Amino acid sequence: MEDSTNTLLEVNHLSFRYESELVLDDINMNINHGDFVGLVGPNGSGKSTLVRILLGLHKQYRGEVRWFGTPARHFHQWPKIGYVSQKANRFNAGFPVTVYEVVAMGLYGKKGLLRFLNRKDKQRIHEALEQVDMLGYKKKNMGRLSGGQQQRVFIARALVSDPEVLILDEPTVGVDAASAQSFYERLSYWNREKGITLILVTHDVGAMTKYVTKVACLNQQLHFHGTTREFEESDLAGTYGHDVHIIHHEHDHHAGGA
């Protein structure tokens, strides 16, 4: 927090109500460039709501969200934030669209209105497909791929605009353990080698803790556990109860931790 230039995402006193129900209660969180954050919580804990607020899809919230120092309500560089939705593969399987066309969509926001893709963009689409080992499938119909393959295409779509941060909502649902592990390894590689900041939202605490550098537990309130080691030593039950006060650790700055 001392080093504000390194802060990528800042959430202060964020609360969200859906009708009369309090979904998110006074969330505080800081994510720095290069973090690999695991955001865990049981079903119905408000994970997806939090993600939607971070992405600017919900605007009726209390508190503050800042991306790169700019309040989310005034933030316009959304292509800097890649997003792979939990619902991405619920598209209409009969939609006649190729893998290439789906990945190209990832550039549309960045290009802006009335601009068309040029050769450099097409090159970029190829690179993104290569990054997920799906280049060979670029002319294939999206609906004909397996769930795992579709998911890789959606990740390529998120990567194609060269985002600084990638938010993945439940990316390993329906993926077998071995594939999930190689998927986490790849994420970890992108995080270390390419410096992409990652926010991984999942209800599956197991495998992911090996790869992430920070863990945050959400259940209406956010219990930020700092490093993975501290998370493992702590009592997970805190996430599922209500009487635990917020622990706010900074990964790199132990001096200020509490």
Buried b (16+ CB within 10 A) or exposed e, 107-135: bbebeeeeeeeeeebeebbbebbebbebb
Note whether 247 and 224 are within 8 A (CB). yes
Among 22, 57, 93, 246, binds other proteins (CB under 8 A): 57
Rounded to a whole number of angstroms, the CA Rg of the chain reads 18
Binders of other proteins among 188-227, rule CB under 8 A? none
Binders of other proteins among 115-154, rule CB under 8 A? 116-117, 139, 141
Q: Is 88 in the site for other proteins (CB under 8 A)?
A: yes
Q: Is 175 in the site for other proteins (CB under 8 A)?
A: no
Residues 184, 87, 21, 167, CA torsion sign: positive
CB of 107 to other proteins, least distance (A): 9
Q: Is 68 in the site for other proteins (CB under 8 A)?
A: no
Among 34, 97, 131, 173, binds other proteins (CB under 8 A): 97
| Closer to other proteins by Cβ: residue 15 or 91 | 91
SS3 string, 8-49, reads EEEEEEEEEEECCEEEEEEEEEEEECCCEEEEECCCCCCHHH
Residues near other proteins (CB under 8 A) are: 55-57, 76-79, 81, 83, 85, 87-88, 91-92, 94-98, 100-102, 104-106, 108-111, 113-114, 116-117, 139, 141, 157, 161
